[in-house]
A = this chain, B = another copy of it.
Amino acid sequence: MRMSDLIEEFIKDLFDENEEIEIQRNELAEHFNCVPSQINYVIATRFKPSQGYYVESRRGGGGHIKIKKATNSKSDYLMYIIKNIGKEITSNEVDILISDFLSYGVIDEKEAKLLKVATSDNVLQLTKDIKDEVRARIFKNMLINLE
């Protein structure tokens, strides 16, 4: 079995009873006898937002990596949507989804506003080639964190 799979499994086991776990990169690398950057690789490939995880970290003394599981308690629906949003999404598609969410009561007006603003063309002001990608990432990640 691949190293990466073992590490993935190990991390996933930590999610017992916890929605959020914290690891020490070097410590974990040592435990698995691999280079630290392998931990980054595992996180990058197995704990992506599109897989329902959100990652935060801090460097320096006492540094750590936090991984949060998107709790889909209320929203299998949201999860379904998130999984089905591709690499890109247009402003229009976002609008449609938001109004769907609103009418299903999955989000409230305030959240709708924030989603809208954070993903609008005006605010992003990015070139066409990356705009929809960045929008997709922001949108998906915000949705994951709506809980």
The residues of A with any CB-CB pair to B shorter than 8 Å are 1-2, 5, 49, 54-56, 61-62, 110-111, 113-118, 120, 122-126, 130, 134, 137-138, 141-142, 144-147
Contact = CB atoms under 8 A, between A and B. Distances in A.
Contacts of A117: 54, 138, 141-142, 144-145
- State the main secondary structure of chain A at its contact with B: helix
A114 B145 contact: yes
Given A1-B62, A62-B5, A118-B118, A130 B141 contact: no
A134 B111 CA distance: 20
Contacts of A62: 1-2, 5
A123 B141 CA distance: 7
A126 B2 CA distance: 31
A31 to B, nearest CB: 19
